Chain A
């Protein structure tokens, strides 16, 4: 079965410090992986995706993610967190042969304190 796990419900970081939001996946075949961010009462905003190629993917707002096939992980990172990065983050994998359907992780709430 295909699945995505975000092991941390919440991540707390001080402003200016690096942040990591973890994601692991389980799929058969090559995964298409995505990160989305959601601000309160808003829809999801696309941050970045991994399809193929370089394992380090750079995305919007200074975020990046590293695809690690051996560890089946796709952790989201940012070198220096901003208070405005505080939001709900979702990792997702595209389900195979299901018309583009995404399987989402349970979400991680990121809180960046000044």
Chain B
């Protein structure tokens, strides 16, 4: 149980294009999903917290117009990198927290999406 998927696993795009990354909780309902960015062999940087049916909460320094987050249902959140530039190249990871017993449960992480912007 508690599986989170991400699609695509790897994407290469040209500078200036937009890329959408999907995060799905496959066998549970997630009230909250988190989006992280990770640089090579570095810790995860939280970008935003996404609650179903409401606007995402962005961390300081993260451009919300550039990184659009939509949490349309209890099992799906999307991150769209708009007008991507080479410096946006990174490993993007989502996580989901179950709506059940939310006080104590851990986040379940997706496998990540490697974005390369040429």
Name A's B-contacting residues (CB within 8 A).
32, 34, 36, 41-46, 49, 51, 88, 90, 99-102, 104-107, 109
Would you give the 0/1 interface string for B101-118, flagging 1 where the beta carbon is closer than 8 Å to chain A? 010101111111010000
Q: Which residue of the partner chain B has the closest CB to A42?
A: B111
Asked if A45 and B109 make an inter-chain contact with CB atoms under 8 angstroms apart, the answer reads yes
Pick from B51, B107, B110 the residue with the most CB of A within 10 Å.
B107
Of the candidates A43, A102, A106, A109, the one whose C-beta lies within 8 Å of that of B110 is A43
Q: Which residue of the partner chain A has the closest CB to B94?
A: A43
For chain B, the bracket of interface size reads 20 to 34
Asked if A106 and B42 make an inter-chain contact with CB atoms under 8 angstroms apart, the answer reads yes
Of the candidates A32, A100, A107, the one whose C-beta lies within 8 Å of that of B41 is A107
Q: Which residue of the partner chain A has the closest CB to B113?
A: A43
Tell me what chain B mostly uses at the interface: helix, strand, loop, or mixed. Answer: strand
B residues 19-63 in Cβ contact with A at 8 Å: 32, 34, 41-44, 46, 49, 51, 57
Pick from A32, A43, A101 the residue with the most CB of B within 10 Å.
A43
B residues 66-95 in Cβ contact with A at 8 Å: 91, 93, 95
Given A46-B107, A99-B49, A105-B43, 7 more A-B residue pairs with CB atoms under 8 Å apart are A41-B91, A44-B109, A99-B57, A101-B49, A104-B44, A107-B41, A107-B43
Name B's A-contacting residues (CB within 8 A).
4, 6, 32, 34, 41-44, 46, 49, 51, 57, 91, 93, 95, 97, 102, 104, 106-112, 114
Residues of A within 8 A of B46 (CB): 101-102
- Distance in Å: Cβ of A8 to nearest Cβ of chain B: 13
- The CA of A43 and the CA of B91, in the complex, are separated in Å by 9
- The CA of A42 and the CA of B108, in the complex, are separated in Å by 13
Asked if A90 and B32 make an inter-chain contact with CB atoms under 8 angstroms apart, the answer reads no
Asked if A43 and B6 make an inter-chain contact with CB atoms under 8 angstroms apart, the answer reads yes
Of the candidates A43, A51, A101, A105, the one whose C-beta lies within 8 Å of that of B109 is A43
